[in-house]
Chain A
Amino acid sequence: MADAKPKQERKGRFIVEREYIDDSRIHEPAKLDAGGIDISGRWGLLIEPRTITSFDHSLMRRVQREPGGAYIQRCFQCGNCTAACPTAGEHPEFNPRYFIHVVRMGYLGELERVRQHVYRCASCGRCSEACPRDVDPAGVMTAIGTAIRRKP
């Protein structure tokens, strides 16, 4: 079967070792204006670094106040929740252990990338049965979903 769509030009095609960089970190505006001067083209290319530059615990504090989120700080990242989760087996982007850590440490850029997947939780509660520290990961997933939907 022939490909109906024309092949799209890939973002950041001038970048050396292009395969190291996610599309989401490349900003390549088609048109860029600097004080009336058109500087469109390669000059406008911006690559966001992957590096974490700050820890921000404000979202975690909001999660703690939402129903189900109170015990997020008990987590010691063993991964029993993810191991017990039927959804995580199908969707690698839905990982309760990972969500808990990203929220605790406030990796907001990473959270932005995976946030829509937090709603994949089916609330079956298997994670909360498996958790050795009574974090209630199912409750925490709900609380994270609520907290990121609401404005701070």
Chain B
Amino acid sequence: MSESVIVMGGGPAGLRAAADLAALGIPVVLVERRGELGGAPIRWKYKTLAPELRPTEEVMDPLIAAVAKHPLVEVHLDAHVERVSGRAGDFRVAVSRSGAGTREFGARAVIAATGFEHFDASRDPRYEYGRAANVIGIHELEGMLNTGRVVCKDGRKPERIAFVFCVGSRDRATNPWCCTVCCGVSIKQGIELKQLLGDVEIYNIYIDVRTFGLWEQLYWESMEKYGINFIRGRVSQIFDTGKQLLVKGEDTLVRGPFEVLLDMVVLAVGITPGEGTAQAAKVLGLTCNTFGFLQPRHPNVHYDSGKDGVFLAGACVAPMSIEEAILAGSAAAMQAAKFVRAAALQAKAG
């Protein structure tokens, strides 16, 4: 009987879980849908992380190295879990690898860490995303910041840039939940644009500013040190004039409707359940909540899937920051390790 744990997803939560299990001497089969490890921070080339603007590699490189080099971790890229049968402590897991057929693994436990997708803003037509060239998402800006070159599509240096908060969040037309991190990420990017471009005006158009915990310092610094502007309201429409973007909204603090011309609009796209999450729910027989995230047994205990031998970690349960996802990976690994040990003892006792 295999002692292994299957980890579904190679992002921050899954990597942390795999690294911790391996360090405890428990073999891990890590299944990643994409062709590389690292999850969203690597896929979208996050330049730095909120709240202290530290390079993403400081967090991701050691995590990836710990997993990629460990003899107890078997990594399968471009792969997904097709079927899970058997019972807790003795699962049979069929892993389908693109171009390499399906292989079956035995496993004592499974950790689902299937992460999230950035909201596809073309679903909300008022923002002209996908049609107006200078309307981009925060994930795309992150990649631009990483190259050190942020320009409009025609090569001009943008002079006025707006961030629109809560795109695909807190909205019955799209997703009603709060993504928890996009305020902080947008403010961080505004600071980085100020650092990179110098004389640029940044307008953060927000409903509330939710820079929770110590991320609040980002918010303060953005105003006090960088002079970033905050407008409370919501954008009702963006028009592409060809050269600039006409952004329509209301400054609710002065009951003032506005229609202003800006060079670039960055949409703070929210966190939505990943494609891999629906697949995980299907093969593991888990319940998704009304939002499409995996439903833990208790809302305040994320790692407990409600099914014996199956544990949850990271943004597949709820939107969260990378620091929370890493903690969640470690917590799920601990629960899985306990389960594996107990199952091994039971097997020995016979």
Contact = CB atoms under 8 A, between A and B. Distances in A.
A77 B231 contact: no
Interface in B245-267: 251, 253-254, 256-261
Contacts of A53: 258-260
A73 B227 contact: yes
B256 A107 contact: yes
Interface in A31-60: 50-55, 57
A101 B229 contact: no
B70 interface: no
Given A55-B229, A105-B229, A50 B253 contact: no
Contacts of A98: 253-254
A74 interface: yes
A51 B231 CA distance: 15
A137 B231 CA distance: 19
B192 interface: no
Given A74-B223, A104-B229, A105-B231, A54 B260 contact: yes
B203 A55 contact: yes
Contacts of A102: 254
B58 interface: no
B258 A52 contact: yes
A110 interface: yes
B339 interface: no
Nearest to A74: B224
Contacts of A50: 256-257
Nearest to A100: B253
B239 interface: no
Contacts of B227: 73
Contacts, number: 56
B82 interface: no
Interface in A57-81: 57, 71, 73-77
B232 interface: yes
B254 A101 contact: yes
B259 A51 contact: yes
Contact of B256 (A52, A77, A104): A52
Counting contact residues on chain A (CB < 8 A from B), the size range is: 20 to 34
Contact of B254 (A51, A54, A55, A110): A110
A101 B251 CA distance: 10
Contacts of A104: 229
B201 A57 contact: yes
Interface string B205-221: 00001000000000110
Contact of B251 (A54, A76, A105): A105
Interface in B317-346: none
Given A57-B201, A73-B227, A74-B224, A101 B253 contact: yes
Contacts of B232: 77
Nearest to B203: A55
B256 A76 contact: no
B347 to A, nearest CB: 59
Interface string A85-127: 0000000000001100110110100100000000000000000
B105 interface: no
A44 to B, nearest CB: 26
A25 to B, nearest CB: 13
B177 interface: no
B44 interface: no
A74 B221 CA distance: 9
A133 B12 CA distance: 36
A98 B232 CA distance: 13
Nearest to B209: A76
B71 to A, nearest CB: 52
A57 B223 CA distance: 14
Nearest to B223: A73
Nearest to B231: A105
B258 A51 contact: yes
A106 B182 CA distance: 27
Nearest to B222: A73
Q: Which of A77, A97, A101 has the most CB of B within 10 A?
A: A101
A75 B168 CA distance: 28
14 contacts: A50-B257, A51-B257, A52-B259, A53-B260, A55-B229, A74-B220, A76-B219, A76-B223, A77-B253, A98-B254, A101-B253, A104-B229, A105-B231, A105-B251
Give 8 closest A-B pairs by Cβ, nearest first: A52-B258, A52-B256, A51-B257, A101-B253, A74-B224, A51-B259, A73-B227, A73-B223
